[in-house]
């Protein structure tokens, strides 16, 4: 069965790039810019992987991550966090909140693909 | 009129005065003293200057010497009109220092020297006694004159006996109203009011006699003037030298006479009363002297030869059968005499009791180590005794001299006596260098000379100075003759005495002051007196009643600090086995407290404070001097400390502010870098991702390839624009921007901006509402930069104004050289909490409406407007988002050195 990834990212060009490379790898890719709207959907029907931006309108990536780790269905969900701020403090906070992988933008496509594979054991 | 009738009239009048005085006292006690404190009452009370000498004697003086009597009024008039600055200073010092008499004033100024107080008191008593005797004499004289039939009177009409009873009565009145209470500021509303009533009575009486003489005896002013010319005697010619001397003398007297000091300074309640008195008192003097010469001339014409001209005011109406007028005149003279005696004896008694009797008594008591009693009762008793003493002295003088002198002569002798206080008094007010030694020596010198050249000779040859001494000088030394000292024979005795006594007084005063060194206390007091107007608060008072522990605790708290003071008291109470904060006042406790206090305020001050509070010891002048010098040292030291600590705290504040500023800047720099990083990395991410995709992907449709290349292109442009904006902002913020100032039509700039902004979301319909007429303004500014601002606002509106029928209204107006352009759209507007943020860097409110901007647009707009000398602001409550751009219609070329604190604070925002 085709694995499912959800990308929460507000930069349309970046989410389009992620969709392209992950689709090319055989994933089913859903994209959203609105984390708050996605939270319920995530709890009800968790994807196999979540790629999460930090600077988002409304709820920030950290807040979304915290809600996910508090929810029963999503406690173990693999989350790859991408950030353009690239400060040490952000990485530390993400790890404290239980992020699976943390990468700074701009990223190499190959690195993202490798991380995704590793996180989902495929 | 019968003698008994006259006595009854007098009694009735005195009872009236009693009633007035006690009503005034009651009103003052009840706090309803408003009318008592009017400037008119004050002015009328000053008329105590006009004694029986004025009332009776002036006419006699005029009969003997013509217009010369005027000098006695001209002196005071000159002082009140021309030199009331002096009086004002005198009054201010007197009130602030709670001065009780002229002796107190001089003693206080020269280091609270009691020696000076004693000298001045003795002088005042010596000069005042004959004066009081003079009043007694005039009253008894008027009694005898009034009673037509000597046989009816019999023994009771003995003038000495009348004088005796008058003295008793006046002593009684003065004691009742002058020593009711021991008020700190020594004011007597009852006495002052009674004096004011008497002032009116004597003025009315003299004017009534005057009017009778001018219009009923003579036929009017013209007739009187003719008669004056006819009477003119050789001795009536004006002698300029003598006039000058007498005017000077009376001018000095109005300042220095103890009774004048009493009413002018001690009884004064407000400075401004003096302003009224400065014209009203001279007016009073003018009125009272108006009819003197007419009465004198008519008296000399009509009265039998040999009648005493000093009594014309009384005898003239009697002679002409005007009994009622004579009675009024009698009451006028009675008023003049009694008011003088009352005030003079009050003033003298205050001095005698404060400077002689009480200090003596305290010394005796201290020697006997008696228990402390209530000082107030003692002082009051002494005061009452002193009043009696002063009147007894006056009476004795009257009896001894036999009342033979002409009234005016006695008055002038007293004037020269009190004039000796002038140098010390003026020095007290105006010369900081004046010293106690100088003042004492000057006073004594003046007093001795006055005694020798005027007072003693006035008794006549043979009484104190033998005829031989008067003629040839003591021990045959001709240059020591009393009336021609040092061979000065050209002056008459009065001016001779005035000249020598004042001259040597001033000389000795000055030399003594130059040669002696003032004590600390004197220095303190001289500063307080001479620079009275530099200070605002009242002088410190040292008087304090007997104290309890409750009274001592606040003192200790004030000096030691609240908790420290309370702890000390509790510890002491604990030691005595008592609960709470109030130990018994034992010698041990007082010793401990004094020790404790002296640690804070110095030993002398601590001792003096406790001595005052506990009331067991009298603080000596030495104590006070020690306090003064100690306090001066402490004040200097603490002033230095204060200056230092102020400087330190100023430096600390500056450092703290600089530090805060740096911290703020550092935080802002971090946030700014983080933002820039984000804004740069975001397009970079897209560029890298798609270029890798294009590199990695073998099979890619041409459409896909074009699309991805387009994205890379767009993001590159976005990146470039971001860098441009950043550089632009940096240049604008540092004021290094080159402005291209030109004169253009505002309307054209708006046209251009609207056209340029149409490229933003060009597919959306967006209506612009303008009123083109007000836009017709020529502006001189950087047109390109201004247009940039307009475009930014218009583009933002096109991006963010989300409504069915988006539209924007542009309003232009000009006022006071400033042009205001309002841009108001009909969208949702900006939430209140965000309004302050929108002009900050990277303050994009929402990322949903991403339009490629980095959030620097409005920040740049603000910097541009500041550079153009204007501003951009959000105007809330306009229905939608509303921005107001304001700028000067004509921008002046910028001064090169404008980059200063403003730039720093801009950077700090």
B828 Cβ contact partners less than 8 Å away, ≥ 6 residues apart: B802, B803, B880, B881
What are the C-alpha distances in Å from B600 to residues B595, B606, B819?
Answer: 9, 8, 66
Q: How many Cα atoms within 13 Å fall on the side-chain side of residue B886?
A: 13
B728 Cβ contact partners less than 8 Å away, ≥ 6 residues apart: B860
Q: For A21, which of B681, B686, B693 is closest by C-beta distance?
A: B693
Q: Are A17 and B693 in contact (CB < 8 Å)?
A: yes
Under a CB-based contact definition with an 8 Å cutoff, are residues B277 and B46 in contact?
A: yes
Residue whose C-alpha is closest to residue B853's, from B798, B783, B891: B798
As a whole number, the mean pLDDT across chain A is 87
Q: For A57, which of B688, B692, B846 is closest by C-beta distance?
A: B846
- The C-alpha atoms of residue B242 and residue B236 are separated, in whole angstroms, by 12
Q: What is the mean pLDDT of residues B513-537?
A: 68
Q: What pLDDT does residue A50 have?
A: 92
B82 Cβ contact partners less than 8 Å away, ≥ 6 residues apart: none
Q: Are A86 and B681 in contact (CB < 8 Å)?
A: yes
Check CB contact of A23 with chain B, cutoff 8 Å: no
Of the residues A14, A36, A54, A93, the best mutation for testing chain B's interface (the one with the most B CB atoms within 10 Å of its CB) is: A14
A23 Cβ contact partners less than 8 Å away, ≥ 6 residues apart: A29
**For B716-734, how does the pLDDT look when each residue is reduced to its tens digit (9 = 90+)?**
998 998 888 888 888 888 8
The answer, yes or no, to whether residue B816 has pLDDT greater than 60, is yes
CA B71 to chain centre: 34
Q: Are A10 and B696 in contact (CB < 8 Å)?
A: no
Check CB contact of B698 with chain A, cutoff 8 Å: no
How far A50 CA lies from chain B's nearest CA (Å)?
A: 19
Residue whose C-alpha is closest to residue B830's, from B840, B843, B841, B845: B845
How far A72 CA lies from chain B's nearest CA (Å)?
A: 30
* pTM, 2 dp: 0.53
Block residue for tokens 């003065």: B174
* Per-residue H/E/C for B850-887: CCCCCCCHHHHHHHHHHHCCCEEEECCCCCCCEEEEEE
- The C-alpha atoms of residue A109 and residue B690 are separated, in whole angstroms, by 9
**For A11-32, how does the pLDDT look when each residue is reduced to its tens digit (9 = 90+)?**
889 999 999 999 988 999 999 8
Q: What pLDDT does residue A114 have?
A: 92
Q: Are A14 and B682 in contact (CB < 8 Å)?
A: yes
- The C-alpha atoms of residue B552 and residue B545 are separated, in whole angstroms, by 12
Q: Are B693 and A20 in contact (CB < 8 Å)?
A: yes
**For B765-813, how does the pLDDT look when each residue is reduced to its tens digit (9 = 90+)?**
888 899 888 888 999 999 999 999 999 999 888 888 888 888 899 999 9
Domains of chain A: 4-120 (3.40.50.2300)
Q: What pLDDT does residue B900 have?
A: 43
Strands (E), chain A: 4-8, 28-32, 49-53, 79-83, 101-104
How far B703 CA lies from chain A's nearest CA (Å)?
A: 14
Using a pLDDT cut of 70, give the percent of chain B over it: 79
As a whole number, the mean pLDDT across chain B is 78
Q: What pLDDT does residue B848 have?
A: 39
Query: For chain A, what is the radius of gyration of the CA atoms?
Result: 13
Q: Are B681 and A107 in contact (CB < 8 Å)?
A: no
Q: Are B711 and A13 in contact (CB < 8 Å)?
A: yes
How far B820 CA lies from chain A's nearest CA (Å)?
A: 35
> What torsion do the CA atoms of B153, B159, B165, B170 make, to the nearest 10 degrees?
130
Spell out which residues of chain A touch residue B692, defining contact as CB-CB under 8 Å.
Answer: 108-110
**For B829-877, how does the pLDDT look when each residue is reduced to its tens digit (9 = 90+)?**
888 777 777 777 776 554 433 444 557 888 889 889 988 989 998 888 8
- The C-alpha atoms of residue B513 and residue A63 are separated, in whole angstroms, by 90
Q: What pLDDT does residue B629 have?
A: 63
> What torsion do the CA atoms of B812, B814, B819, B824 make, to the nearest 10 degrees?
-30
How far B702 CA lies from chain A's nearest CA (Å)?
A: 15
Under a CB-based contact definition with an 8 Å cutoff, are residues B810 and B821 in contact?
A: yes
Instruction: Quickly list DSSP for B690-732.
Output: HHHHHHH-SS--HHHHHHHHHHHHHHHHHHHHHHHHHHHHHHH
Q: How many Cα atoms within 13 Å fall on the side-chain side of residue B351?
A: 33
Q: For B685, which of A56, A107, A110 is closest by C-beta distance?
A: A107
Q: Are B692 and A110 in contact (CB < 8 Å)?
A: yes
How far A24 CA lies from chain B's nearest CA (Å)?
A: 9
> If pLDDT is split at 50, 70 and 90, which confidence band does B538 have?
very low
The answer, yes or no, to whether residue B384 has pLDDT greater than 90, is no
Q: What pLDDT does residue B847 have?
A: 44
Q: Are A85 and B692 in contact (CB < 8 Å)?
A: no
Residues 831-850 of B with CB under 8 A from A: 846-848, 850
The answer, yes or no, to whether residue B137 has pLDDT greater than 90, is no
Check CB contact of A109 with chain B, cutoff 8 Å: yes
A57/B424: higher pLDDT: B424
B484 Cβ contact partners less than 8 Å away, ≥ 6 residues apart: B496
- The C-alpha atoms of residue B213 and residue B291 are separated, in whole angstroms, by 9
List the beta bridge partners of residue B873.
Answer: B884
Spell out which residues of chain B touch residue A107, defining contact as CB-CB under 8 Å.
Answer: 685, 688-689
Q: For B696, which of A33, A107, A109 is closest by C-beta distance?
A: A109
- The C-alpha atoms of residue B506 and residue B7 are separated, in whole angstroms, by 48
Q: For B677, which of A57, A85, A110 is closest by C-beta distance?
A: A85
Q: What pLDDT does residue B278 have?
A: 84
Look at the alpha carbons of B242, B245, B246, B247 in this order and tell me if their dihedral is positive or negative. Answer: positive
Query: For chain B, what is the radius of gyration of the CA atoms?
Result: 47
Check CB contact of B681 with chain A, cutoff 8 Å: yes
Q: What is the mean pLDDT of residues B813-833?
A: 87
3-state secondary structure of A83: strand
Q: For A85, which of B674, B688, B692 is closest by C-beta distance?
A: B674
Spell out which residues of chain B touch residue A106, defining contact as CB-CB under 8 Å.
Answer: 681, 684-685, 687-689
**For B575-629, how does the pLDDT look when each residue is reduced to its tens digit (9 = 90+)?**
888 777 778 777 778 778 877 776 655 555 666 667 666 654 445 555 655 666 6
- The C-alpha atoms of residue B364 and residue B361 are separated, in whole angstroms, by 5
Q: What pLDDT does residue A113 have?
A: 92
Spell out which residues of chain B touch residue A55, defining contact as CB-CB under 8 Å.
Answer: 678, 847
Q: For B678, which of A12, A33, A85 is closest by C-beta distance?
A: A85
**For B255-272, how does the pLDDT look when each residue is reduced to its tens digit (9 = 90+)?**
888 888 888 888 877 778
Range among B47-61, B544-558, B745-759 with highest mean pLDDT value: B745-759
Mode of pairing for the β-strands spanning B807-815 and B818-825: antiparallel
Q: What pLDDT does residue B713 have?
A: 93
Block residue for tokens 């309002």: B822
- The C-alpha atoms of residue B415 and residue B498 are separated, in whole angstroms, by 9
The answer, yes or no, to whether residue B182 has pLDDT greater than 70, is no
Instruction: Quickly list DSSP for B112-154.
Output: T-HHHHHHHHHHHHHHHHHHHHHHHHHHHHHHHHH-S-HHHHG
> If pLDDT is split at 50, 70 and 90, which confidence band does B487 have?
low
Check CB contact of A55 with chain B, cutoff 8 Å: yes
Check CB contact of B678 with chain A, cutoff 8 Å: yes
């Amino acid at each position: 069965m085709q694995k499912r990834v959800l990308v929460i990212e507000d930069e349309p060009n970046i989410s389009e790039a992620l969709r392209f490379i992950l689709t090319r790898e055989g994933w089913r890719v859903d994209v959203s810019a609105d984390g708050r709207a996605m939270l319920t959907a995530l709890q009800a029907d968790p994807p196999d992987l979540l790629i999460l931006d930090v600077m988002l309108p409304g709820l920030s990536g950290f807040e979304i991550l915290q809600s996910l780790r508090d929810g029963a269905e999503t406690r173990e969900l693999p989350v790859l966090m991408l950030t353009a701020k690239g400060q040490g403090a952000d990485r530390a906070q993400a790890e404290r909140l239980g992020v699976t992988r943390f990468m700074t933008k701009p990223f190499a496509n190959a690195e993202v693909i490798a991380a995704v594979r590793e996180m989902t054991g495929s | 009129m019968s003698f008994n009738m006259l006595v009854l009239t007098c009694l009735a009048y005195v009872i009236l005065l009693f009633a007035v005085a006690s009503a005034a006292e009651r009103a003052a006690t009840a706090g309803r003293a408003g009318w008592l404190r009017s400037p008119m009452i004050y002015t009328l009370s000053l008329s105590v200057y006009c004694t029986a000498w004025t009332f009776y004697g002036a006419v006699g003086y005029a009969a003997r010497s013509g217009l010369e009597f005027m000098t006695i009024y001209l002196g005071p008039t000159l002082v009140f009109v021309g030199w009331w600055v002096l009086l004002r200073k005198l009054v201010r010092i007197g009130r602030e220092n709670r001065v009780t008499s002229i002796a107190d004033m001089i003693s206080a100024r020269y280091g609270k020297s009691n020696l000076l107080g004693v000298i001045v008191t003795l002088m005042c008593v010596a000069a005042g006694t004959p004066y009081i005797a003079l009043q007694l004499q005039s009253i008894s004289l008027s009694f005898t004159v009034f009673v037509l039939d000597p046989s009816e009177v019999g023994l009771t009409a003995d003038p000495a006996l009348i004088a005796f009873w008058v003295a008793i009565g006046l002593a009684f009145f003065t004691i009742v109203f002058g020593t009711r209470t021991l008020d700190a500021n020594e004011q007597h509303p009852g006495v002052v009011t009674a004096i004011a009533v008497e002032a009116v009575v004597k003025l009315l009486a003299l004017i009534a006699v005057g009017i009778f003489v001018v219009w009923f005896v003579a036929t009017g002013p013209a007739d009187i003037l003719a008669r004056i010319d006819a009477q003119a005697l050789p001795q009536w010619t004006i002698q300029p030298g003598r006039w000058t001397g007498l005017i000077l003398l009376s001018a000095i007297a109005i300042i220095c006479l103890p009774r004048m000091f009493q009413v002018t300074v001690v009884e004064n309640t407000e400075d401004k009363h003096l302003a009224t008195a400065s014209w009203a008192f001279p007016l009073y003097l003018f009125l009272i002297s108006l009819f003197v010469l007419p009465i004198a001339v008519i008296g000399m014409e009509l009265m039998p030869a040999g009648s005493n001209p000093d009594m014309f005011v009384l005898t003239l109406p009697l002679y002409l059968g005007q009994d009622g007028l004579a009675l009024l005149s009698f009451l006028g003279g009675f008023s003049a005499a009694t008011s003088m005696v009352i005030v003079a004896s009050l003033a003298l008694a205050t001095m005698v009791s404060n400077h002689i009797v009480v200090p003596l008594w305290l010394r005796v008591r201290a020697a006997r180590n008696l228990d402390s009693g209530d000082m107030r009762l003692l002082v009051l008793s002494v005061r009452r005794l002193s009043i009696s003493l002063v009147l007894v002295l006056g009476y004795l003088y009257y009896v001894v001299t036999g009342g033979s002198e002409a009234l005016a002569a006695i008055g002038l002798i007293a004037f020269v006596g009190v004039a000796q206080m002038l140098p010390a008094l003026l020095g007290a007010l105006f010369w900081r260098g004046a010293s106690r030694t100088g003042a004492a020596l000057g006073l004594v010198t003046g007093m001795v000379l006055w005694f020798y050249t005027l007072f003693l000779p006035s008794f006549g040859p043979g009484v104190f100075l033998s005829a031989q001494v008067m003629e040839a000088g003591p021990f045959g030394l001709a240059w020591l003759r009393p009336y021609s000292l040092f061979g000065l024979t050209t002056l008459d005795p009065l001016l001779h005495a005035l000249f020598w006594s004042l001259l040597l007084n001033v000389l000795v005063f000055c030399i003594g002051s130059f040669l002696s060194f003032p004590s600390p206390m004197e220095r303190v007091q001289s500063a307080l007196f001479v620079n009275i107007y530099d200070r605002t608060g009242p002088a410190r008072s040292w008087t304090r009643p007997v104290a309890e522990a409750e009274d001592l605790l606040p003192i200790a708290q004030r000096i030691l600090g609240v908790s420290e003071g309370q702890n000390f008291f509790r510890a002491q109470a604990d030691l005595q086995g008592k609960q709470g904060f109030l130990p018994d006042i034992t010698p041990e406790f007082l010793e401990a407290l004094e020790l404790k206090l002296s640690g804070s305020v110095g030993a002398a001050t601590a001792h003096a404070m406790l001595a005052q509070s506990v009331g067991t010891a009298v603080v000596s002048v030495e104590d006070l001097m020690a306090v003064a010098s100690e306090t001066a040292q402490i004040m200097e030291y603490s002033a230095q400390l204060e200056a230092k600590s102020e400087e330190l705290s100023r430096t600390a504040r500056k450092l703290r502010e600089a530090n805060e500023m740096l911290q703020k800047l550092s935080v802002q720099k971090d946030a700014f870098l983080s933002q820039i990083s984000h804004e740069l990395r975001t397009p970079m991410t897209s560029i890298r991702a798609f270029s890798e995709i294009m590199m990695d992907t073998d099979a890619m449709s041409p459409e896909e390839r074009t699309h991805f290349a387009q994205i890379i292109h767009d993001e590159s442009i976005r990146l470039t624009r971001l860098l441009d904006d950043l550089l632009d902002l940096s240049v604008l913020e540092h004021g290094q921007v080159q402005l291209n100032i030109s004169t253009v039509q505002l309307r054209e700039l708006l046209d251009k901006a609207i056209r340029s902004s149409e490229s933003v979301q060009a597919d959306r319909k967006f209506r612009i509402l303008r009123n083109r007429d007000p836009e017709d303004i020529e502006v001189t500014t950087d047109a390109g930069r201004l247009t940039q601002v307009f475009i930014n606002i218009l583009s933002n509106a096109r991006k963010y104004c989300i409504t069915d029928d988006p539209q924007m209204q542009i309003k232009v107006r000009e006022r006071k050289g400033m042009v205001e352009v309002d841009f108001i759209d009909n969208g949702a507007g900006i939430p209140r909490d965000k309004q302050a943020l929108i002009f900050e860097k990277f303050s994009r409110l929402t990322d949903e409406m991403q339009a490629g901007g980095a959030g620097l647009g409005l920040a740049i707009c603000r910097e541009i407007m500041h550079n153009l000398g204007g501003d951009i602001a959000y105007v809330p409550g306009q229905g939608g988002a509303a921005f107001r751009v304001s700028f000067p219609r004509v921008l002046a070329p910028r001064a090169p050195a404008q980059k200063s604190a403003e730039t720093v604070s801009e950077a700090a925002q």
